[in-house]
Structure 1
Amino acid sequence: MPHAILRSRRRRAAVSGALLAVLGTLGTAVPSRASAMPPAACPSGLVGKATCYTGQDGNGAYYTIAVPKRWNRSLVVHAHGGPAASADPAATTEDLAQWAVLVEQGYAWAGSSYRRGGYGVRMAAADTDNVRRLFVERFGRPARTYVHGQSFGGNVAAKVAETYGRERGAYDGVLLTSGLLAGGSRGYDHRVDLRVVYQYYCRNLPRPDEPQYPLWQGLPAESTLTPDDVLARLQECTGIASAPAARTPGQQRNLDDITAVTTIPERSLPTHLQYATFLFQDIVGNRLGGRNPFGNQGVRYTGSHDDSALNAGVARFSADPTARRDLSYDSDLTGQVSLPVLTLHAIDDPSVFVEHESAYRATLHGAGRDSRLVQTFTRESEHDELSVAEYATALAALDDWVRTGREPAPLSIANSCRTYDRTYGGGCFYDAGYRPAPYSTRVRPRPGDVSWPAMTAAQERAWSRIDGVGIAP
C-alpha cells in the first residue's frame, strides 16, 4: 500500500533540499520529550515567518511544529488525511506546507504523522492529542487551541473533540474540512458497493483463473498486486484512461454502469477502487484479525442498463457483528462534543461526498449537541485543495466565535471571505443557502447497522486494553 495511494491529500513537492536533509536524520535522533525538540528547516513558504521544529514522540509518531514570528498565542493542532501506509517523517512538514496560511494568520501549528500507517481513528486521535501536549510542554499553554481535521483527519479530529475535548483547557474549538464524518461503519459503504459492482462487470479482481477470495477482504493478505496492477485492470475493463472515442463499446458500457450505480464520479473512480482494495485489506487483515465489518445484504442496486441481472449476480455478504462493532467503536462519532464546531465542505467533493455533513449533523442532533455546529459549503469540486482564502476565513470565523461567544451565520462567513481573498487569494465560492441531502440518499444504507454506543460496558473496557487506542495496533 504505497503512501501516495492511501493518503487522501496531495503531496507537496516544494520542500527544500535542506529540509529533506534534516528529516533524513530523524531515524537516528528520536527525542521523546518536548525539551529535546530541535529547530528545523521550515517549508519554503514559511522561511523567515516562523520557527519550525521536528521530532518523534515516545509512541513513534513523527511531528512538526511551527511557531510564527508574530504569534497570536493560539494553536492549531492538525489531523491529516489518509490513512497513510506508513508513518513518514516528511509527511508532517508537507502538511505544514499545505496549511501554511494558518501560520501566516498568526497561529502556531502542530501535526502528527500518527505512530503507524494504516487504519485506526482512536490511535490517530491519541497521537494528535499527544502533539498538543508536547507543544504545551515546550511552549506553554496557548490562549486558545483548535483541532483541525482534513478528510480522514476530519473523523480523527472529531474523535479528538469527543475523547479529549472535555479536558479543561485542552481545546476551544473544532474545524473540520472535507471531513469523513459518517464514521468507519458507514463511511466506506459506497466503496463496498463499488467493490462488488466492479467485480460483477469486470470479473478481473480476481480473474476467473486466479485464486478466489471474498470481496470484503479487498485483497488477500498474501496478494502481490500493486496499485498499478489494479489501475491496469480498471483500464482493461473500462478504458477509463483512454479518450471516450478510443474505448470499446463494452468498456464504455461497463464504465457507465459502474459510475451510475455507485454515484462515484468517473474522475475519482481510480482512487475509490484503490481504497476498496488496499484500505479494506488493511482494515480486515491487519486491524480486525480477518473478520469482516462490511455487508451488502438487502441492498438494491439501481441505475444500470439491467438492474435485475445486476442484483441477481452481484456478490452478497453480511458483516461479522463483532467486526462491525469494533470498527464502529474505533471510528464512529457519538456527537458528545461541547465545543464549537465549524465545518467546510465542497458541494461536489468527489472523494468524501458532501452528504457526510448530513450524517454528522444527525449524529450531533441525536446527542442534543447540534446547536454548537455551523456548517459551510462551497461551489467547488475538489477534495484536498479548496481556496486558501476559504481556509483562512473558516479559522478566523471559528476563532471569533470562541472569543466572543457569538455563533456565526454561514452568510456572514461567506461575506467575510472577501477580506481574506485580498490577502491570500484563491477566490471565494461559498453557497450560504446550501443544505446537503440526507446521507442515505447518496450511500445506500445497510439494514441492522451496529454502532458503538450499543456496546456493553464490559466490551468497552476490553477495547481499552488493546493499546488504549481502539482498533488493534
Structure 2
Amino acid sequence: MPKSILPWRRGLLAIGLLAGFCDPLRADALTRDAESMARAGCPDWLPRATRCYSGQDTHGAYYWIAIPDGWNHKLVLHSHGGPRPNAPRPDDPLDIDLRQYDVMVREGYAWAGSSYRRGGYGVRMAAEDTDYLRRLFVERFGQPDRIYLHGQSWGGNVAAKAMELYGTDAEGRHRYDGALLTSGVLGGGTQAYQFRADLRAVYQYYCANHPYPGERQYPLWEGLPKGSDMTPEALNARVDACTGAGLPAEQRTLVQQRTLNNIVDVVRIPPGTLKAHMRWSTFLFQDMVEQQLDGASPFSNRGVRYRGSSNDDALNKGISRFDGDARAVEKLGEDAGLTGMTDIPTVTMHAIDDPIIFVENEWLYRRAREDSGTADSLVQIYTDEAVHSKLSTPQYAAALEALDRWVERDRKPTPEAIARYCETREASVYDGGCHFDTDYEVADWRARVYARQP
C-alpha cells in the first residue's frame, strides 16, 4: 500500500493541512488538554482491566478513551452520527457510542470518541474535533502503531471529511492508516438530504398542518422559522393526526392510511420511519439553515416530477416548489461535500434495506472515489439487514479485521473474504450472526431519489 498520496493531489491537501498546526498557541492548548485528561471509572460492560480516561478539550468537546488490557497498540477513532440536537454531555461518548461499539475494545483496540463541541449540524466542525482527539491521544499516550477512523451514520460523512482534510500531512504521509465507514451519509449534505426536502413538500401537500394555514407561513426548506418553540412531541402529534403513523394499522382511519401510503410511496421511505425523517427535515434543517447557511436554501425541487401517489397529476400541480440559493448550495458543499480525494484504505459497510440512510449513498461515494482516481483504495460490503444504527456485532469485527489485514499485509480484501472472516471467527465470539450479501450491487442514487435540474 503506498504511503503517500498521488503527487498531483498533494498540494491541494497541504493547503488545508498546514493551516494552524504549527501555531504555538494551539500546541500549548493541546499540552494543557493532555495534562488535564483524567482517569475515569470504566463501566462493567467493558473487558476487565480496561483503562478509561475522559475530559473536555479546549474547543468544548467532551471525550472518552478506553484502552484494553493487552492493547494491540492500535487506535480506533470514532466519529458519531446524528447530528445530535442537544448540547453535548460529558458521558455521551461513553453511554451512546462506546456502549454500542465496544466490540472495538474487545478486539484489542484502544477506542476514542468525541461528543463534538456543540450539537447540531457542522461536518467540518465535527471533523476538526475528531482529528483534535487523534492529536490529543498521541500527545498523552504516544503514537499508536495504527490509527483507524470509524464513522457511523452522519459520522461516516464526518470521518470521510476528516480523511480528506486531515488524513495526510504536508509530506504526503498518512495520519490515518485506514477507515471503516458504516451506514454512512456518504453523499454529502447537498445530495443526501434532498429527499427530506421532498418529504416536507409532499407531506404539506397532503396534510397541510406543518405549518397549519393559520400559523406563520415559511418556506419548507427552512425546517422551522427562526424563534419557533415547536417540540419533537408536538411535531409527532401533527404527523399522527394526519397519517396515524404512530398507530397500529387497524386503528388508522381510511383517510389516514391513504395519506400515509401516498406520502411514503412518493418519497420512497418505510412507513415506520416517517416520524424520524420528519424530525430531521424540521429540526435539522432549521439548525443547518440558520447556523450554517445564513438563512438561505440549499435545496430545490423545481422541475421534479413526483410519482407513486394515487393522483400524480394533482400532486405535481399543487405541491410547493422552491429553489436553491447558489451560495447556500456552495457553502453546504464546502462543509459536507466529499471529493473522494483520499487514498487511505477504506472499507464501507451498509445494510441493503437501511431505512434511515439509503444504501444508495454508497453509489455516490464510489463515484466520488472513482472521479478522484482513488477507487482502488475502497472496498464496499453490504448486509441483508434492514437496520441503521447498529448492524450485527460480528460484522464490525470482521470488517475491522479485514481493514487491519489490508494495511498490515498490503492485501486488499474482497467482500467474500470479509464474509469468511465473519463466519470462521467472529460468529463464534459474538452474537448476531453474519449477514453479508457478497453479490449485491448498489443501484444508482437517481433510482432512489428524484433527480434535480442541473
1: CA distance between counterparts of 2:165 and 2:248? 48
Paired residue for 2:190?
185
**Structure 1 residue 47, shift from structure 2 partner:** 5.2
**Residue aligned with 2:111, SS:** strand
**Mapping of 1:260-275 within 5 angstroms?**
260-275=265-280
- Provide the secondary structure at the position in 2 that maps to 1:281: helix
CA–CA separation in structure 1 for the residues paired with 2:410 and 2:450: 38
What residue number does 1:423 align with? 429
Aligned to 1:56: 56
**SS in structure 2 of the partner of residue 415 of structure 1:** helix
Q: Equivalents in 1 of 2:266, 2:311: separation in Å?
A: 11
Shift of 1:75: 0.4
Contact 1:112/1:127 (8 A) holds in 2: yes
Q: May I ask how many residue pairs the two structures share in their alignment? A: 419
- Give 1:428 deviation, angstroms: 0.3
Alignment of 1:307-322 (within 5 A): 307-322=312-327
Name the SS of the counterpart of 2:405 in structure 1: helix
Q: Which residue does 1:397 correspond to in 2?
A: 402
Cα distance in 2, alignment partners of residues 353 and 149 from structure 1? 16
Alpha-carbon distance in 2 for matches of 1:68, 1:336? 33
Structure 2: distance between partners of 1:412 and 1:361: 20
Contact preservation (8 Å) 1:202, 1:237: yes
> Which residue, out of 440, 444, 447, partners 1:438?
444
Q: Which amino acid aligns with 1:143?
A: D
Q: CA deviation at 1:31?
A: 9.5
- Assess if the C-alpha contact under 8 Å between 2:174 and 2:344 holds in 1: no
1:247-273 Cα offsets, whole Å, 9 max, x none, are: 111111100000000001111111000
Paired-residue identity, %:
52
Deviations along 1:355-414, one digit per CA (max 9) or x if unpaired, are 000010011111111111100000101101111100111101000000000000101111
1:175: how far off?
0.5
The structure 2 residue matched to 1:128, chosen from 127, 130, 136, is: 130
Give 1:244 shift. Answer: 1.7
Aligned mates of 1:377, 1:49 — CA distance in 2: 35
Change (3 A) 1:31 1:44: farther
**Aligned with residue 119 of structure 2, among 104, 111, 117:** 117
- Unaligned segments of structure 1, at least 5 residues: 1-29, 449-473
Following superposition of structure 1 onto structure 2, how do residues 125-274 of structure 1 map, counting pairs within 5 Å?
125-167=127-169, 168-274=173-279
Give distance in 1, aligned partners of 2:49 and 2:308.
53
Q: SS in structure 2 opposite 1:335?
A: coil
2:23 corresponds in structure 1 to: none
1:71 aligned to 2:71? yes
List per-residue Cα deviations over 1:9-55 (Å, max 9, x = no partner). Answer: xxxxxxxxxxxxxxxxxxxxx99511221110123211524101000
For the residues of structure 1 that align with 2:132 and 2:303, how far apart are their CA atoms? 42
In 1, the alpha carbon distance for the partners of 2:343 and 2:235 equals 43
2:139, 2:246 → 1: CA distance? Answer: 51
2-structure distance, mates of 1:373, 1:45: 33
More displaced 10-residue stretch of structure 1: 86-95 or 129-138: 86-95
Question: What is the alpha-carbon distance in structure 1 between the residues aligned to residue 42 and residue 123 of structure 2?
Answer: 28
Q: Is the Cα–Cα contact under 8 Å of residues 31 and 139 in structure 2 kept in the other structure?
A: no
Kindly report structure 1 stretches of 4+ aligned residues shifted beyond 3 Å.
none
The answer on whether the counterparts of 1:32 and 1:56 sit within 8 Å (CA) in structure 2 is no
**Residue aligned with 1:371, SS:** helix
What is the 5 A alignment of 1:227-376? 227-376=232-381
**Residue number in structure 2 paired with 1:103:** 105
Q: Quote the Cα distance in structure 1 between the aligned partners of 2:37 and 2:174.
A: 23
What is the rounded CA distance, in whole Å, between the counterparts of 1:364 and 1:60 in structure 2?
A: 33
The one-letter code matched in structure 2 to 1:122 is: R
**Residue segments in structure 2 that go unaligned for 5+ positions in a row:** 1-29
Counterpart contact for 2:47–2:106, Cα < 8 Å? no
SS at match of 2:45: helix
1:145-199 Cα offsets, whole Å, 9 max, x none, are 0011000000000001111111235110010000000000011011001000000
